[in-house]
């Protein structure tokens, strides 16, 4: 596995790092949450190949004992951690995703999963309950970014030798985000999405909470579109992308129409995949 890794960063270096870029479009504040519907998310995950993301989360938590997965979704990474360590806890606000997680837990898969309905902004645990917290692809969906990140630090015990907080967000060249930013975000009247900004803000908050030693990695997830017919493929990708962030949006038909030419151009270069490239931020307690 080859990964570009850069370690020993402080929060200012994270903010300035190209993996949190592009620096010239860094917004001044949180743009507010995307709404993630359930059918759109299921379609998205059915096409998602996570690449090295799962093994990276597993190797990051291999020396941990009590891991919390914040916003576990349908639980692909929660399960991977539970299989590795025998147990993983997740907090997830969306009732249909909680039900999917419960089904898996009740089916008796390897490793136990504790599932709690709840939100990152108010985690139902006492201080230092866990020694690792993971929050993958959730920062763009929380209502209050600062509270959510502070809560992750609060429930993570900095005295554990392997204490860490692992966040994943979009890399600056994330193809999915770039297509949506180009074709749909302005049409929906929303501010530009900048995922590096979320990681940079999170790093500043975590540093203030004592988790100020950062490592950055890059990952290469992608959505796969195997449809042989080119127009059927463009249609499928337009559905997947629009339903991911704009499921049930009143301008849905217009958004689909607007995104198709951008997807068509993208498929000329990369015919069967749209990249969901990620930046992974691992925050450890800074040694004094
Ligand atoms: C893009 S999904 C990622 C799911 C999972 N972490 C993964 O990597 O597969 C984002 C998840 O964050 C959850 N979410 C939304 N708002 C949240 C909040 N305030 N606190 C915790 N999770 C939240 C959503 O319900 C959804 O399951």
- Domains by residue range for the chain, with CATH: 5-284 (3.40.50.150)
Q: Whose CA is nearest to atom 19 of ligand 1?
A: 142
Look at residue 110 in the predicted model and tell me its pLDDT. 80
Alpha carbon distance 7, 281 (integer Å):
10
CB 166 within 8 A of CB 134: yes
Q: Give the residue ranges of the chain where pLDDT is below 50.
A: 1-3
272 touches 226 (CB < 8 A): yes
Residue 36 Cα, ligand 1 centroid: separation in angstroms? Answer: 8
pLDDT tens digit string along 201-228? 999 999 999 999 999 999 999 999 999 9
51 close to 222: Cβ distance less than 8 angstroms: yes
Please tell me the distance from the alpha carbon of residue 142 to that of residue 266, in angstroms, as a whole number: 30
Q: What is the DSSP-derived secondary structure letter of residue 41? A: H
Query: Which residue out of 48, 93, 165 has the highest number of ligand 1 atoms within 8 Å of its CB and is therefore the one to mutate?
Result: 93
Residues lining ligand 1, Cβ inside 6 A: 36, 70-73, 76-77, 92-94, 97, 119-121, 136-138, 141-143
Pairing of strands 164-170, 87-92: unpaired
**Ligand 1 mean position, distance from CA 177 (Å):** 17
pLDDT for residue 3: 45
Output the pLDDT for position 252. Answer: 96
How far is 90 from 108, CA to CA, in rounded Å? 16
């Amino acid at each position: 596995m080859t990964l570009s890794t850069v370690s020993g960063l402080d929060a200012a270096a994270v903010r300035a790092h190209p993996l949190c870029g592009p620096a010239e479009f860094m917004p001044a504040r949180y743009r507010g949450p995307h709404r993630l519907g359930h059918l759109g998310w299921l379609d998205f995950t059915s096409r998602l190949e996570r690449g090295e993301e799962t093994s990276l989360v597993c190797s990051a938590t291999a020396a941990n004992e009590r891991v919390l997965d914040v916003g576990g979704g349908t639980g692909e990474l929660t399960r991977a951690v539970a299989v590795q360590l025998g147990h993983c806890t997740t907090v997830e606000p969306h009732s249909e995703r909680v039900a999917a997680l419960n089904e898996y837990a009740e089916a008796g898969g390897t490793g136990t999963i504790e599932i709690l309905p709840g939100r990152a902004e108010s985690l139902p645990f006492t201080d230092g309950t866990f020694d690792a917290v993971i929050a993958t692809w959730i920062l763009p969906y929380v209502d209050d970014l600062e509270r959510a990140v502070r809560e992750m630090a609060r429930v993570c015990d900095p005295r554990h030798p392997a204490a860490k907080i692992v966040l994943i967000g979009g890399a600056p060249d994330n193809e999915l985000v770039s297509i949506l930013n180009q074709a749909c975000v302005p049409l929906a009247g929303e501010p530009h999405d900048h995922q590096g900004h979320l990681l940079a803000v999170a790093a500043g908050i975590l540093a203030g909470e004592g988790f100020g030693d950062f490592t950055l990695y890059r990952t290469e997830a992608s959505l796969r579109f195997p449809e042989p017919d080119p127009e059927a493929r463009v249609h499928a990708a337009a559905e997947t992308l629009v339903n991911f962030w704009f499921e049930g949006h009143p301008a849905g038909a217009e958004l689909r129409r607007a995104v198709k030419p951008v997807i068509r151009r993208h498929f000329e270069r990369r015919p069967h995949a749209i990249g969901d490239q990620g930046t992974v931020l691992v925050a450890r307690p800074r040694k004094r």
